[in-house]
Amino acid sequence: MRIRTIQENAAAAPQTIARPRSLELFAGAGGMALGLHAAGFEHAALVEFEPKACATLGHNAALWQARNGSVPPWKVTAVHLADVRDFDFRSELGHGELDLVAGGPPCQPFSLGGVHAGMNDPRNMFPAALALVRDLRPKLVLFENVAGLLRSGFFPYFEYVEAQLHDPLCAPGDDEDWHRHRDRLARRRAGNSGERYYVTRQLLNAADFGVPQLRNRVFLMAIRADLSDVPIPPLLATHSEAVLLNDQWVSGLYWERHGLALPAGAPASARAATRSVTTSAQLPWRTVRDAISGLPEPVDGVESPSASSHVGIPGARSYAGHTGSEIDRPSKTIKAGVHGVCGGEAMIRYSDGRLRYMTVREAARIQTFPDNYEFVGARSHAMRQIGNAVPVELAAAVGRHMRASAGL
């Protein structure tokens, strides 16, 4: 299955006289920004604190400018290396209403792989993001973060974030801790005052939206109350595991698509899972094999002449908790890692037991970045940028859904 180029994504995006304007916070390597552009948004500014990720945003903007492609996802001048707490948004954004504030506040404070400091972690950027919502009052707000926010230890704080989105003009006092502010917000809501946004919380698996990866993330989608009297409805999945299993073990279409013979011995669980699949309108989950189809077999230490950042890495090995991703299933979650590349998820396991590392280009395809998107820095930097990103196709699905809900 071929990944569309950036130019093709731009051409396929909804074309309007004036695209709705968005502000991208914590932009990282641009996964969410690319997806929102494909959904029809124009990025007024992208703000990123990490120098290599910000360099990736600027580098690709310069490439689009040199190629003279149609409707580049963002301009070089829209990219800003800055801390969102210090950035002068008013002067950079200029006049005119902002349609969307989007971003994924750093997830390490709430990640299962982190130190679990949560709201007490200095990297917790929710207060800064919410302060911008109060100041800019966009029509829509989109926050993405790890599913760990729904764990019991962090959930009260997550509900507090939601409460602030409902009533952003009720700002915390200088000496008011978050518990007291949360209680004050609850009293205002109980008194039917202060409702400014309707907020929808949804846990989404990227595989359910055409991304070849099992990646669960929580999304907050908010719409200003003067635009709608109801919250944004939940997204409906477009892809399913049952259809994939049916294509693999009942119809055999999956193997036919890849020019392979149907393997013997279909697992009983697969057949049981597909009994209800008859005329499903959903598409099959995409697999690792689907994602990397068309790329040449990587050679260790040698850059591919036909695919950028496609260099084989020797030494892949399996150990407890790091067994790789099966080639005929969606990938495990691609992660950034705390101290470097997270190797266990960045490996491919073949049906004969063979194991190898994913190349940077393969990992980028797993995150649905287009093939002409380039990452600045060594492999470790590139893989960290890819692992931190929102999958492009998932961001596009969410963006289209929010646009339709707001009538933009």
- 14 pLDDT exceeds 60? no
The two tokens of residue 100 are 């969307």
- 334 pLDDT exceeds 70? yes
Beta strands at 21-25 and 100-103: parallel, antiparallel or unpaired? parallel
The two tokens of residue 126 are 């929710």
User: What amino acid positions are annotated as catalytic residues?
Assistant: 107
- 116 pLDDT exceeds 50? no
Roughly how many angstroms between the first and final C-alpha of the chain, as a whole number?
31
The pLDDT tens digits for 263-287 are 887 777 777 766 667 667 899 999 9
Q: What pLDDT is attached to residue 284?
A: 95
268-289 per-residue burial string, b: 16 or more CB within 10 A, e: under 16: eebeebbeebeeeebebbbbbb
CA angle 98, 103, 107 (to 5 degrees): 160
Average pLDDT along the chain: 87
Strand spans (E) along 82-215: 100-103, 140-146, 197-205
The pLDDT tens digits for 210-264 are 999 999 999 999 999 999 999 999 999 999 999 999 899 888 999 999 999 988 8
Report phi then psi at 357, rounded to 5: -70, 145
Among the residue ranges 123-127, 220-224, 394-398, the one predicted with the least confidence is 123-127
CA 200 to CA 202: how far, in whole Å? 6
Per the model's pLDDT, the better-predicted residue between 344 and 251 turns out to be: 251
- 184 pLDDT exceeds 50? yes
Contact between 14 and 42 under an 8 Å Cβ cutoff? The reply is no
Contact between 183 and 190 under an 8 Å Cβ cutoff? The reply is no
Report phi then psi at 392, rounded to 5: -60, -45
Report CA torsion sign: 122, 128, 131, 137.
Answer: negative
The two tokens of residue 325 are 């991703």
Q: 219 forms bridges with which residues in the sheet? A: 144, 202
Report CA Rg, the chain. Answer: 22
Report phi then psi at 28, rounded to 5: 55, -140
Q: What pLDDT is attached to residue 296?
A: 96
The two tokens of residue 198 are 């309707």
The two tokens of residue 255 are 């193997």
Q: 142 forms bridges with which residues in the sheet? A: 102, 221
The two tokens of residue 353 are 């037991």
Q: What pLDDT is attached to residue 4?
A: 46
pTM: 0.90
